[in-house]
Structure 1
Amino acid sequence: MKKTAKVPVEKAAKALLVKHACPVPFHEVRTRFLGNIATPEMSVSPLQVIKGLWGGELPVVDSMDELNNLLEVLVQGLWNELTQHQKRSQPFRLTRMSMAATAANLGRYARVRREELDGFVEGLFHGEDAIDLPERAHEAVGHLGQLRAMMAGICDLVARDPQADDRTKLETTFKHVRELSRIMETEINAVVLSCTRARRQMLEGTPTARPTIH
């Protein structure tokens, strides 16, 4: 019997999100899932999170097999794959983007990073206005808020001057955004590891200091 090649999880997830007209872009789905995995809120349900991608209801499908495939790819595939980033040896990486230094690309780059940060924080808070976080996670979320504001600022600048053609300045700004992306990854991983450690200690009955963040 001829064996069929297994489609990589991310490729399969992207295709299904497009097929079912998911309003949340894939890069933001990844970080939202990661935030949900990291959140101290113990009531997180992957099924409810997936419903949230479509505004609270699963997308309309033609058959039960199609629904099962959607859930298998997003839960057994993507969600479970992202849980591996709770290990220090397997840090999370933001979406890789390689593009020429143009104003339009700079705007897209900053928008993707902003949406990734929005997704992570939304997942982390899991619909709550305030949550208790370990000290390092609390600090990292503050840094992510500042980085998010920087990305939004770049988007605004490009929107005001979409024809900017000073290549030297554009290349310098691209370099800065790439550097900021590495800082984003560091802070996201700090949140994930800090919350994972705190959750493990809580389950083991060890108290941890956890400030409330709004």
Structure 2
Amino acid sequence: MAKATKLDQLSDQVVTALLEKHACPLPFHAVRALFMGNIATPDMTTSTMQTIRDLWGGELPKFETKQDAEILMMCLMQGLWNGLSAYQNRTNPFKLTRVKSPQPSWEALARLSLLRREEIDGFIEGLFAGHEEIDLPEKAHRATNMLGEIRAMLAGLHGLAMKNNTTPTDTQELDGMIKQVRELSIIAEKEINVAIQSCKRARAQMLETYTAEKPVLH
């Protein structure tokens, strides 16, 4: 088990380096969450390739060599995307980026709250697959509403941290706010997985309905 974990971490490091090399506007943790949302989306017309293009505003970055393009596509599609697909299994839930407990500071609060906000933004963006509105099953709808509320609280904490980043404050108070971000993270992770499972069931039902209603060709 430890060996698999090391390989996963190495893969994440490689993808992070490639995204930075090709000046992707989104950080790795946001890309990872966006891909997960797009894998889960009930929009059956979504395209993996288009989702990747959208990371750079709709067009792939310019590559120095053909090999550079092949390496990036292999890491994003065969590595990151296919790896995230396994998290549709209820026994193997999606997890937000793990972060070591920081020493209480405004900087630490700002960094952690921004990271979680960007992950929620990424997941919602992927789930909605470029649409302003999308039909979601009831549980996924409730989950996205909850994620929206958590996102707003994280934005508030981030704004507070940025406003007070040069102001000394009580360590215990800061520690409490960082603990609040961690508690919100646990809830957000749970709601993301509720949405993933709900949409997975909805997609399966759509496929079953399509198969049942397809006319027999003579």
Normalised TM-score (structure 1): 0.91
Q: Is residue 117–residue 154 contact of structure 2 (8 Å, CA) maintained in 1?
A: yes
Q: Does 1:199 align with 2:208?
A: no
Match of 1:109 in 2: 112
1:12-51 → structure 2 map (5 Å cutoff): 12-51=14-53
| 1:176 Cα offset (Å) | 1.3
Cα deviation digits, residues 5-62 of structure 1 (max 9, x gap): x783212111100111111010100010011101111111111111111111111111
Match of 1:60 in 2: 62
What CA distance in whole angstroms lies between the structure 2 residues aligned with 1:174 and 1:157?
Answer: 12
| 1:196 Cα offset (Å) | 0.5
State the secondary structure of the residue aligned to 1:42.
coil
Give the paired residue count: 202
1:1-214 → structure 2 map (5 Å cutoff): 8-98=10-100, 99-162=102-165, 163-205=167-209
What CA distance in whole angstroms lies between the structure 2 residues aligned with 1:28 and 1:156?
Answer: 19
Counterpart amino acid of 1:119?
A: G
What CA distance in whole angstroms lies between the structure 2 residues aligned with 1:49 and 1:173?
Answer: 35
Task: Tell me which stretches of 4 or more aligned residues in structure 1 moved more than 3 Å.
Answer: none
Counterpart amino acid of 2:198?
A: S
Counterpart amino acid of 1:64?
A: K
| 1:165 Cα offset (Å) | 2.5
| 1:92 Cα offset (Å) | 0.8
Counterpart amino acid of 1:170?
A: L
Q: Is residue 38–residue 127 contact of structure 2 (8 Å, CA) maintained in 1?
A: yes
Cα deviation digits, residues 53-91 of structure 1 (max 9, x gap): 111111111111110110000000000000111100111
What CA distance in whole angstroms lies between the structure 2 residues aligned with 1:127 and 1:18?
Answer: 23
Counterpart amino acid of 2:35?
A: F
| 1:143 Cα offset (Å) | 0.2
| 1:166 Cα offset (Å) | 1.0
Q: Is residue 109–residue 178 contact of structure 2 (8 Å, CA) maintained in 1?
A: yes
Residue segments in structure 1 that go unaligned for 5+ positions in a row: 1-5, 207-214
Counterpart amino acid of 2:209?
A: G
Counterpart amino acid of 1:132?
A: D
State the secondary structure of the residue aligned to 1:189.
helix
State the secondary structure of the residue aligned to 2:57.
coil
Residue segments in structure 2 that go unaligned for 5+ positions in a row: 1-6, 211-218
More helix by share: 2
Counterpart amino acid of 1:189?
A: N
Q: Is residue 106–residue 162 contact of structure 2 (8 Å, CA) maintained in 1?
A: no
